[in-house]
Structure 1
Amino acid sequence: MKKEVRDVVFPSQFLGDVNQYKAGQGTFVENGKIYAERIGIQSIRNGVITVTPLKGSYEPHAGDVVIGIVEEVSTSTWLVDINAIYPALLHVNEVPWRVEFGDTARYLNYGDAVMAKVLSSNEPDRLQITLKDRGLYKINGGAIIEVEPTKVPRVIGKNGSMITTLKKFTNSRIFVGKNGRIWVDGEIDAIQKIEKAVRLIERDAHTYGLTERVIALLKNDGR
């Protein structure tokens, strides 16, 4: 019988030998043995051991597509909350509009949401993002649902299976940002269903049979 819950491991807990497995994210190697670097959920896939933290803030990486919220407007830049420790800088040169000096608020104002891409992340207090790429834009309409950034892979599902399920049963447009923000565009009741499903995924991300439970919830009108 398949076990229901993946293993919870603790810092410095022994996980395996390097002659059997490869050390993945959240682990470290010492004297040929693999140990947990943090408290989290251990997973083994394709011979690689990883430990996903139970909770944690978003750690930006260059190329990540995120959902940001404008929190400050200046004459030639915007500061955007991307759910990281520090806000990201968006310069007028990195938007698809020709913005005159001092006219930034006409295009993006406080509280506006954007689909953006992380440009650099070497220094956490000097993050930069861009809107100058395909699929990046100012968000109009819909709703934003927040989820633990560490649970994003589970919301998406293997090969996009979970997100496909959510779209199929709600007839909604959904985008999951790497930073734990989900944009949903659809009918009010569909958005409510999706939020309930996301909360279920967030709560039970470490369990098996999750897709079946999400489908059951969506079929039962979100109850």
Structure 2
Amino acid sequence: MLSFVSFSHPTDHGSTHHHLPDTEDLLDVADFESSRSKLTCPGEIITSSQAFMRGHGTYVDKEDVIASVAGTVERVNKLVTVRAIRTRYNPEVGDLVVGRITEVQPRRWKVDANSRQDAILMLSSVNLPGGVQRRKLESDELQMRNFFEEGDLLVAEVQAFFSDGAMSLHTRSLKYGKLRNGQLVTVPPILVRRLKSHFISLPCGVDLILGLNGYIWVSKQVGDSDQGEEGFDAEAVYSNQNDDVDNATRTAISRVSNIIRVLADHFIPLTDTLLLEAYEWVIEQEGETKDLLGDAGEALVAAVSSRG
């Protein structure tokens, strides 16, 4: 969980020299080990340049490593960096992402994945009727908009990178593909932690997909498909029609979405256990869903922070 660290500030505003803070104000190895990440602001002294090396988001003045951006302080061995809070998603192979189709091109789709440039989903990287292993035919290319069209949301995995740095995605697992029966919530990518599974099912009948790119899908819970790849039902998987969602599930989806927005507004990292605790706390309060965006949201943050 993010925590705030107070540092001493120079008293002479006319000088660029930063005075040496007390020893206890500096971050040492124990500080880094005790907290996964700490939030800092531009100009704050992070640690001593004699003990650590400066990385991205920092600079050295005299004997100090100083933050140049607002973000979370992270350490790898002796290298100290600051990851900016407001930044584009920096993808890695194997990442789970949620995206939106922006353009249909020959044999490929362009996907907005909240990165520096649109990702690419090749026709050869999706499941098609008749089994995954079959060759893609010219008829498949002519029917590409029957699978994905502009505006469709999907969940996919980062497969590789093209020479220009664009992500290459794939949806070859039955867990991936078009998204329906829910709503999209956008948070800073830095707040989505890497978990063992980014598919989360809450006891209220709501499924969550935590995209590492900061796009989170909150939807009606669906049962696991017992069909194998050979039993792939393209009509159901690529359907544009939402299922019937009862009022209780709609309320639960709205409640979970508001919980995510409140936690993100307070820069609290999102994990499966944290979201479950937050939802249980909200249920105990028996308040209205819309109240979460007011005083109830502040109380939620205080409750979750105290448990952490």
TM-score range, shorter chain: 0.7 to 0.9
User: Cα RMSD (Å) of the superposition?
Assistant: 3.8
Number of equivalenced pairs: 212
Secondary structure of the structure 1 residue equivalent to 2:253? helix
Listed as ranges, the gaps of 5+ residues in structure 2 are 7-38, 129-135, 221-248, 292-308
Residues 27, 218 of structure 1: CA spacing in aligned structure 2 closer, same or farther, 3 A cutoff?
Answer: farther
Q: Which amino acid aligns with 1:39?
A: A
Match of 1:36 among 64, 67, 70: 67
Q: Deviations over 1:128-179 (max 9, x none)?
A: 21112463222232222211212223xx8x888xx97x824x3311110011
d(CA) in 2 for partners of 1:119, 1:96: 15
Bigger radius of gyration: 2
Q: Report the residue type matching 2:100 in the other structure.
A: I
Q: Structure 1: how far apart are the matches of 2:146 and 2:255?
A: 34
Whose RCO is larger (CA < 8 A, sep 6+)?
A: 1
Among 156, 160, 179, the alignment partner of 1:139 is 179
Task: Check the 8 A contact 1:67/1:113 in 2, yes or no.
Answer: yes
- Name which of 151, 171, 189 aligns with 1:111: 151
Which sits farther off after the overlay, 61-70 or 43-52?
A: 43-52
Structure 1 residue 71, shift from structure 2 partner? 1.1
Q: Which amino acid aligns with 1:61?
A: E
| CA distance, structure 2, for counterparts of residue 74 and residue 119 of structure 1 | 19
Q: Does 2:196 align with 1:180?
A: no
- Following the alignment from structure 2 to structure 1, what is the Cα–Cα distance between the partners of residues 61 and 162? 27
Question: Partners in 2 of 1:79 and 1:204 — Cα distance?
Answer: 32
- Shift of the 89–206 alpha-carbon distance from structure 1 to 2, 3 Å rule, reads closer
Q: Would you say 1:205 and 2:267 are equivalent positions? A: yes
Distance in 1, Cα, partners of 2:78 & 2:166: 36
SS at match of 2:158: strand
State the partner residue of 2:17.
none
Q: Percentage identity across aligned positions? A: 21
Alignment of 1:1-223 (within 5 A): 5-6=4-5, 8-11=39-42, 13-17=44-48, 26=57, 34-36=65-67, 38-42=69-73, 51-97=82-128, 98=136, 100-121=140-161, 126-133=166-173, 135-153=175-193, 167-168=202-203, 170-186=204-220, 187-206=249-268, 215-220=280-285, 221=287, 222=289, 223=291
TM-score of the aligned structures, taking structure 1 as reference length? 0.74
After TM superposition, give the deviation of residue 6 of structure 1 in Å.
Answer: 4.5
